Structure 1
Amino acid sequence: MNYQMDTRGQTQSAQPGIEEVMDPTPVIIRESYRGSGRLQGKTALITGGDSGIGRAVAVHFAREGADVAIVYLDENQDAEDTKSMVEAEGKACLLLQGDIRSEQFCKEAVSRTVNAFGKLNILVNNAAEQHPKEHIREISARQLTDTFATNIFSFFYFTQAALPHLRKGDSIINTTSITAYHGSPALLDYSSTKGAIVAYTRSLAGSLAEEGIRVNAVAPGPIWTPLIPSTFDSERVEKFGKDTPFKRPGQPAEVAPCYVFLACEDASYMSGQVLHPNGGQVVNG
């Protein structure tokens, strides 16, 4: 499949962005992707599941046999579109709207998922926000607090709420970023949270190993999602991903199979690890 595309002129005014107005729209799943029942009978909860990587993960999980609950902020149409895609795969999709910076909402989201499906087997901590600033002096206390609350505090909240329901063989998957390894001068606070997620993943994996709950992460490189045109100006968007060895941004469909692998029994001997779908950039981490 040819993933080359023209991203010129793509900007949006507010995060986390709307997928339905993107042109070209992200590739969510390849037509050639064949599910093989690797997640049959499982239930997954995915934060930021309305669009981008989260949407692709939801649809791939459904094609592999899982019911899914997706958490989103206020992108109602994107969430409904994701639900329709999941249902087209013959699986159920629960929509959970709210602010993941709230510990109480995170608890309620897990509770509603378990009440709806009777169980929870896979937690995907994926939602994030980013706000470019050219210098550390420009990062306000409010921005710093919000970025950490969304990008790492919510991981703690959801994990704490989910653990009473997870059993041996179940899985937690965290979305970090290539910025945790390469850094990003204009995304200092965002990159810091992504580094924290790597440490969180490795530490939690050790903590839960005796319980048989695996904890891994995925560190995407530049991926074409609504967060990109809603973060950067048109000049940055036009150049997005072209500095990779592949000379292009990746698509959510090229990332989601990593989550399938980590969620299923194929990765039964992996915990505390990070996968790197990043267009060929070597990070040695």
Structure 2
Amino acid sequence: MALSFLASALDIYNCILFTPHHQIAQCLGYLGLVYEDKNELGMALDYFNQQLEMEEQCLPLGHWRFAEHIGWIVHVHMKMDNRNEAEKLCQKESRHAKRTLGAAHPHAARMQMLMAELAEDNEPDQALRLYKKAVSILNVSTKPDDRSLVRCFLAMANLNNKRNNFRDALKYDKKAVLLASKCMPRDHVDMAFSLKNLGISYYAINNVQEARSCFSKSLSIYRNNYTSEHIAMKLYTLIVTNLVEQTSETNSNELQQPYVSINSDHKNELTIFQQSSQFYPSISTLSSTSESVNSTTAICAIL
């Protein structure tokens, strides 16, 4: 059903819009997402490549969507066990960004972040170096991009948490929340994600009081953005309420490897929220969220 509606939308766009056009590119991307959801990865890759090629013709150089959609292509390559192709694409785009936009452009930093995500599982030290390089680029960038910087801090915190470097994780989560509070409204859902991550880092170092405060603030923001019946609200309430209850019932002196214990109850859901950032979808978040791209999502996005 989704494919037929999207194919019809693409035909209409091709009739009424001049090519290349960003809305045609958007439609190509949605087709790719549906095919990826159906696990027809070859078709998904073809549509994602068409999307990127068209966007390169109609969007300004260095537009943030390039990094997002290159990430989609990289993610499909990883699903197809084409790690070499994913790495080559990132390296190619990184060289292109430096050559056409300069080493201090945010797009160059976003490419460093993509390469860092690729390196996280097998080369975590290299991943951290790449994230730090991205931060250094964004700090001197010719075009400020605080949201990419927030996402980079969140990724560094998440990677340190995975390695049980909880105090380093806390440091980067604090930076993410501080910067997010300056570049977006305080009731934005991305603030809820950042506060939730900060709460997990506090919990991991046995600071139960601060953790509970962060979880409560995070849940309050989410409630201001969604109705109680919204599926995202239900899932987020389940997770964060569980975390609040754990911090309420647990004495900080009793905590043993708290980060592991948090993940044990709602592992799949927490993985989504711990790794996610809505600034730009990353490889890690796409692996969790691509399954939710169904016909309703695709059609509503087009409409």
Scaled by the length of structure 2, the TM-score of the pair is: 0.29
Scaled by the length of structure 1, the TM-score of the pair is: 0.30
Larger relative helix fraction:
2
The structure with more radius of gyration? 2
Higher RCO (CA 8 Å, separation ≥ 6 residues): 1
Larger relative strand fraction:
1
